Amino acid sequence: MKINFSQILNPNQLDGTYNISTNSLILAGAGSGKTRVLVYKTAYLLEKNIPPEKILLITFTRKATQEIKERIHKLFPNAKISIETFHSLAYKNLNISKSNIKILHEENLFHNLSYNNRLLFFIRTPFQFYKTYKAYKIFQQYKKDNNYLGFQDLIEIFYRNLKSKKILLNYDYILVDEYQDTDIFQKDILKIISKNKNITVLGDDFQSIYKFRGAHVENIFNFPKEFSPCKTIFLNENYRSTPEILNFTNSFSKKNLFTQNPSGPLPKIFKFSTNKLEVLYILKEIKNILKNHPLTTFAILFRNFEYMREFLLISKIENLNLEINKNLFTFHGAKGLEWDYVFIPIFLQGVIPNKTYSKKDLDEELRLFYVACTRARKDLTITYPKSIYTYLGHFNTPSSFLKLIPSNLYKKEVLD
C-alpha cells in the first residue's frame, strides 16, 4: 500500500518521518501526534524496502507496545517488526524464560521486603535502597536468597552482556518512544545497539516525571551531543486541547504549542471554604455534564492516592459517588491519557507540589502538574479548599505554581 505521507502529516511531522539518513531527536509537545510520527516513520522505512527484521521500536509500556503494533499492522499486515519495551527486549535476549529466575518489579520486591524489616519500612521507594548501603545489601541478599530479579536488574544485566558482546543485536534502524523516561543504562544500551547511527528518539522534556524510578531527564537534553550527528525536530502543533488550555499550560512550561482547535472556556481555578464543598462542587459539575452530554469523558486527577481516598470518602458519605471510581487517577497514572473534562483538586502548597520533594526536585513537580493539565481536551478545572488536614499534614496555602500563571489566562472565583 502506497501512503501519501504529505496528506496525513503536518510539515514538522513529515520532517521527522523523512529524516532517515541521520539520527533524529523529535521533541514532541503534549498532544502533538508523537505516536503518529513513530508509526508513519516505520511505514516510511518499510516503503523504502528496509527489511522489517532490521527495524526495532522501543516503547515504555505494554499498552503502548500493543497500540503501536495494531496501528502498524493496519498499514502493513505482514511486516514482522520487533516492537518491545526495554524490559521485554532484555528478557527475550537473556533467555530468562528458560531459567528458574523470577522477575518482579522493584516496587513489589520493595513492599515484600520492607513489610517485615524495620530498617527498610520507612524508605519511600525501592530506588532509595541504593542510597543506603546497609539497606542495599539487605535488598540484594533478599533477591539472591529467593531467586528474584527486579526489572532494573534485568536492564543492568542486559547492558553488561551487550557491552561484553555476549549478546549481539543487528538492527539498522531504531525508534524509541518516551525518551525522556530513559535511565542511564537504557541510554547506554541504545548507544551499543544503534552503533550511534540511524536512531530516532521521540519525547518531551517537560513530561519527564519518573525520576523516582531512575529516569534521567538529562538524556533528552544531551542526545544531540551523545548521538551526533543529529537533527532536532520540534512538533509544536497540538491536536488535543483548546487554545485556552494551551495558553494556560504554555505559560508555566515555557512551551510554544499552538492549535487549530476551536476555542473553549478559560481554565478555572476555584477556592472553597472547605474540602467537603470542593468535592461536592466537582461531583455536581460532573453530574450536570453527564446529564447534558452522556457520552462525554472526564477524569479527576490527584497528586497521590491519599487525597483520592479522602475524595471517595466524602462522595460516599454524601451519596454522590456517580460510579466515578474508574475516572480517578493519580498524576502519574494519567500520563498518556486524555479526557474532555479534567478536574484537579487540592491545589495547595505541600500537595501540589508535594511536600516530600526537595527544592532541587521542584522542576519535576511542575512537570507533573503540566502532565495533569495537558490531559484536558475541552475544559480544565483546578480547585482547592482553604485548608485540609490529613495524616500527611496540614495544608492551607495555595500552590506556589499559581504565581507562574498570568491571571488573565484563567477564571478565578471564591465559592462557599
User: Per the annotation, where are the binding residues for ATP?
Assistant: 28-35
Q: Which residues of 355-381 are buried (b: 16+ CB within 10 A; e: fewer)?
A: eeeeeeeeebbbbbbbbbbbbbbbbbb
CB 238 within 8 A of CB 33: no
Tell me the C-alpha distance between 312 and 331, whole Å. Answer: 17
Beta bridge partners of 343: 300, 381
Annotated binding site: 28-35
Tell me the C-alpha distance between 391 and 131, whole Å. Answer: 26
∠ CA 29-50-234, rounded to 5°: 15
| Helix, strand, coil share (%) of the chain residues, nearest 5 | 50, 20, 30
Cα 127 to chain centroid, rounded: 18
HSE-CB at 160 with a 13 A cutoff on CA atoms is 5
Tell me the C-alpha distance between 81 and 242, whole Å. Answer: 36
